[in-house]
Structure 1
Amino acid sequence: MALMFPRLAHNFARNGNYPTDEITLERTLQALTPATSGRMRICDPCAGEGVALAEAAHFLGRDQVQAFAVEYDRERADHAHGLLDRVLHSDLFDTLISRQSFGLLWLNPPYGDLVADHSGASQYQGSGRRRLEKAFYQRCLPLLQYGGVMVLIVPHYVLDDELTGWLSNHFADLRVYGAADSTFKQVVIFGIRVRRQDLVRASTSQVRVHLQAIGAGQQQPEEIPAIWPWEPYLVPSVAGELEHFYRISLEPEQFAAEILRLRGLWPDFNLHFGQAGLQPRAPVRELSRWHLALALAAGAISGVVRSKSGRVLVVKGDTYKEKVRKTEFTEDEKGNVSEVRTLTDRFIPIIRAWEMTTSSVNHGQVLIISSSPASIDEAPAAEELVATSLFNPGQIVMTAAISHLVETGQLNPASVLKRHLAGDWGELCDDDRASNQLALTHGDRLFSSYDIDAGDESRLWIITEADRSYTTLLLPSDY
């Protein structure tokens, strides 16, 4: 199938779409092989007319493949609707798509510099030249499952030090070839997404140097072979259900179609809001202090509470579960001692109240009531951390998973953060420690790994970006 009429190719390029030529597409597909069993799910987040992904789906076995795509241009999206299973007419940065949901990521992103008013500019993280190709790579990488295959098609000059570092840190078995048609100076990059700890450092360094040389124009990439000489890349079967794949905002036409489908904006208004004006019934008897405490801890009573004395509090209650460890030693008749460890769930209520009484000396303070016997030491001030550190950590942030562990009292990250800033990199191999020491001199990224005891979690990572703008605390599963 021809990708497009030659007379239209120039216009498509001018509109920001650089389609893959037919010969390169055919040769690229020869590098792929389908999973031996199960369904496959593939995605093209910049699909154009959807032809490339449709060809990939047919090559892998159309009955066993679900093809998903995102396309910004309306006409191209309408055309892709007829070829693929699900297509979103949307800006990729205005979508919500489940992470690690696809076994094949076909990424031929828009080419050019990232302007300040682009929707992805606020989400871009990097210190090198701000390019659209790099912004789309960052957005799309989490969509690919571990063990999944990436096909990245970009101009060779985009392969700067930053992008090549990302690629070599995220993918194994990287191969790069020049496109059969050199009109757009494209290279085709193949790779298998793996976790960082599974990468072989020696081969990673060699691949990175090779990619940098191609990006700088010092080496010419070999043209993609007509017959694939290597073992093909296996597109794995789906690892889980696709929970989210939709556009966040609605176009006017989509909004109008939805209203028409529902036969009005609020077809069930009375059902949902007809009872809103009724006063709730009072309890049979006055709540005791025990009932009040239980309701507060369960979150049943929240919001602004006023006492008879005039005190005003903004109250929020919550309950979390913690594991209580118990170790017992038993001795048998022969004197052998055995150890038995048990974990028991313990529910901890915690109530927070924001003092809003204007006449109170504690106005604006947050009061915390909890039954947990454990006390959490306050983290040192940012100024204290910076004063005692080997480098500037920038803004210190944490992922949602780490924040949950801190809020529930399972983790106090102050000690490991001090170790990271002092150059104690934790449980790392000698090569990673040496890389961190070089990074202190040359300004590269710093990485630490620490053993922790926080519920089911046993490992915490800390990463300081190369430009020292952010230091992030995260779990390995967040990466």
Structure 2
Amino acid sequence: MGLMFPRLARNFAKNGYYPTDEATLERAISALAPSAGTMRIIDPCAGEGVAIAEAAHALGREDVLVYAVEYDRERAEHTRSLVDHALQSDVFDTLISRQSFGLLWFNPPYGDLVADHSGSSQYQGKGRRRLEKAFYQRCIHYLQYGGVMVCIVPNSCLDQEFSGWLCNHFSELRIFKAPEQQFRQVVIFGIRTKRKDQDRTVPHGELKDHFLAIGTGEKEPDELPLEWTLEPYTVPAATGEVEHFYRVTLEPEQFLEETKRLSGLWSDFGLHFHHVGSQPRPPVRALSSWHLALALAAGAISGVVTSKTGKVLVLKGNTHKEKTRKTEFTENEDGSLSEVRILTDRFVPVILAWDLTPGSEHLGKIMRISSSPAVEADPQAPESSPEDEVQALRLAAESARFPTGHLVFTCGVQAAVADGLFNPATYIRRHFAGDWGELDESDRRMNEAALHNGDRLFSSYDIDAGSETRLWVITEADRSVTTLLFPSEY
């Protein structure tokens, strides 16, 4: 069989892109056979679309619907000319119907995943973090039961975890060495089968050990045959319809079209920034600065405002209600303590200002003005600056009852503080001073003992930070670090 696109069927690496070489592609396709009816096939890492287009022509182009996803714009444009449906997108930014395809051509990007500290890793597993595994976990569900997978990956990917996945998800597994060995690739064929329905001629353990030995280099698989003489892998006919096949976020071209259709991004600007069709009545008397600030925060004053100095701002004000907690202790006649928790409504103004001053260095920037939640302070005390707050925390650490180490916030706490949901400084100072918060007497005694025997110190405080109502502060036993976290992050 001769390839239709020999000029494009070349093997090179560019930004993690490893297209299937001509020899491997031709021999792998010869192992496939069509079935009666319309077949639906997909390549989630299509590159220039050559491999999946060749597979479609080998199966009978008129009976095949071809789907493809490619991240690179230039390669995606070429893919669109070869297939029926193509997306220019990261496959993790797509929504594709599960169990809708009879053939999964799987030649993913190769390489190790970088560390992800955001808590949103694409790879969910305990083994070596590899791109191939992340793509496999994402794409395996596209294949219908009874569908065929052609998997082209480097043999180093075949660790304990990946080999186990293959053996659990597929029957009639066969593995071959690719003719082109620049990247030490192997070609794996299999039919997706429910584990309870698998009829194995080779025991599961032996098959997995065979894959592991190839992955470690202990065994060398047979080379993919020039002519396929084994039972072919029949691509089943499509069942049902593809309900979802689209990119979640807009493509740049789509975004441009929507912008032109709406005549800009601010077609409803007037709806949000002033009261349409109503003329505000002038006040009875001149407003004071306090009245102006209150009206602005309440959203009564919005729109374009020009100051006497020539500064032009687009303003939008709003106010939301938060609850502050206060705990009081009273001594009973028998000497015991009664705890009373008081919830108080607190109105928090939030003002957004968009700087449109011509020639300003801040042109186009959005400023956010809000009163950050904090514990009640002396109204006569001067307002503290961020530098004052840092200095106060530094002094609190120096006078703490124990070495505090480095101060660390988890991602959730850091986001809540950045959004102005609560002020952590108060709780840090309380923890440093040995005020352990809302703990029972047993836990308090453990903390006091830990001050002397060097165990971990733990505090718990009631807060009001959106969905989070409790803050934990933990100082490790070696006193190297103090961490602020929400219980949901533990």
Instruction: Give 2:70's aligned residue.
Output: 71
Distance across 2 between alignment mates of 1:25 and 1:9: 10
Is 2:60 the counterpart of 1:61?
yes
Change (3 A) 1:259 1:32: same
Instruction: Give 2:32's aligned residue.
Output: 32
SS in 1 for 2:132: helix
Cα-to-partner distance string for 1:255-288 (whole Å, 9 max, x where unaligned): 0023335666699999xxxxx99xxxxxxxxxxx
Instruction: Give 1:199's aligned residue.
Output: 198
Cα deviation, residue 239, structure 1 = 1.3
Instruction: Give 2:174's aligned residue.
Output: 175
Give the aligned residue type for 2:136.
Y
Change (3 A) 1:89 1:17: same
Gaps of 5+ in 2: 271-275, 278-322, 326-339, 344-490
Give the aligned residue type for 1:185.
R
Cα deviation, residue 123, structure 1 = 3.2
Distance across 1 between alignment mates of 2:120 and 2:109: 14
Cα-to-partner distance string for 1:284-326 (whole Å, 9 max, x where unaligned): xxxxxxxxxxxxxxxxxxxxxxxxxxxxxxxxxxxxxxxxxxx
Distance across 2 between alignment mates of 1:17 and 1:118: 25
Instruction: Give 1:460's aligned residue.
Output: none
1:320-335 residue pairs with structure 2 within 5 A? none
Change (3 A) 1:120 1:52: farther
1:2–1:22 CA contact under 8 A, matched in 2 = no
Instruction: Give 1:240's aligned residue.
Output: 240
1:99-114 residue pairs with structure 2 within 5 A? 99-114=98-113
Distance across 1 between alignment mates of 2:168 and 2:122: 20
Displacement over 4 Å in runs of 4+: 2-6, 117-121, 261-270, 361-364
Cα deviation, residue 250, structure 1 = 1.5
Distance across 2 between alignment mates of 1:266 and 1:98: 34
Give the aligned residue type for 1:91.
D
Cα deviation, residue 243, structure 1 = 0.4
SS in 2 for 1:140: helix
1:115–1:121 CA contact under 8 A, matched in 2 = no
Instruction: Give 2:138's aligned residue.
Output: 139
Instruction: Give 1:162's aligned residue.
Output: 161
1:155–1:186 CA contact under 8 A, matched in 2 = yes
Instruction: Give 2:259's aligned residue.
Output: 259
SS in 1 for 2:33: strand
Cα deviation, residue 17, structure 1 = 1.0
Instruction: Give 1:81's aligned residue.
Output: 80
Distance across 2 between alignment mates of 1:120 and 1:43: 30
SS in 2 for 1:111: coil
2:88–2:251 CA contact under 8 A, matched in 1 = no
Give the aligned residue type for 2:192.
R
Cα-to-partner distance string for 1:155-209 (whole Å, 9 max, x where unaligned): 0111001100000000000000111111111110000001111124653222211
Cα-to-partner distance string for 1:109-137 (whole Å, 9 max, x where unaligned): 00000113599962321111000001100
1:12-411 residue pairs with structure 2 within 5 A? 12-37=12-37, 39-117=38-116, 122-200=121-199, 203-260=203-260
Distance across 2 between alignment mates of 1:120 and 1:103: 34
1:97–1:246 CA contact under 8 A, matched in 2 = yes
Instruction: Give 2:387's aligned residue.
Output: none
Calculate the TM-score normalised by the size of structure 1: 0.53
Change (3 A) 1:268 1:217: same
Change (3 A) 1:220 1:238: same
Cα deviation, residue 15, structure 1 = 2.0
Instruction: Give 2:466's aligned residue.
Output: none
SS in 2 for 1:13: coil
1:3–1:22 CA contact under 8 A, matched in 2 = no
Distance across 2 between alignment mates of 1:102 and 1:134: 20
SS in 2 for 1:122: coil
Give the aligned residue type for 2:16.
G
2:4–2:54 CA contact under 8 A, matched in 1 = no
Distance across 2 between alignment mates of 1:132 and 1:198: 29
RMSD: 3.5
SS in 2 for 1:173: strand
Change (3 A) 1:257 1:111: same
2:94–2:247 CA contact under 8 A, matched in 1 = yes
2:10–2:20 CA contact under 8 A, matched in 1 = no
Give the aligned residue type for 1:204.
H
Change (3 A) 1:4 1:118: farther
1:120–1:135 CA contact under 8 A, matched in 2 = no
Distance across 1 between alignment mates of 2:118 and 2:34: 35
Cα-to-partner distance string for 1:228-260 (whole Å, 9 max, x where unaligned): 121111111111110000001123332002333
SS in 2 for 1:138: helix
Give the aligned residue type for 1:152.
C
Distance across 2 between alignment mates of 1:120 and 1:215: 29
Distance across 2 between alignment mates of 1:131 and 1:98: 24
Distance across 1 between alignment mates of 2:167 and 2:133: 14
Cα deviation, residue 75, structure 1 = 0.7
1:47–1:69 CA contact under 8 A, matched in 2 = yes
Distance across 1 between alignment mates of 2:150 and 2:96: 19
2:10–2:22 CA contact under 8 A, matched in 1 = no
Cα-to-partner distance string for 1:16-69 (whole Å, 9 max, x where unaligned): 1111111111111111111122x1110000000000000001111111111001
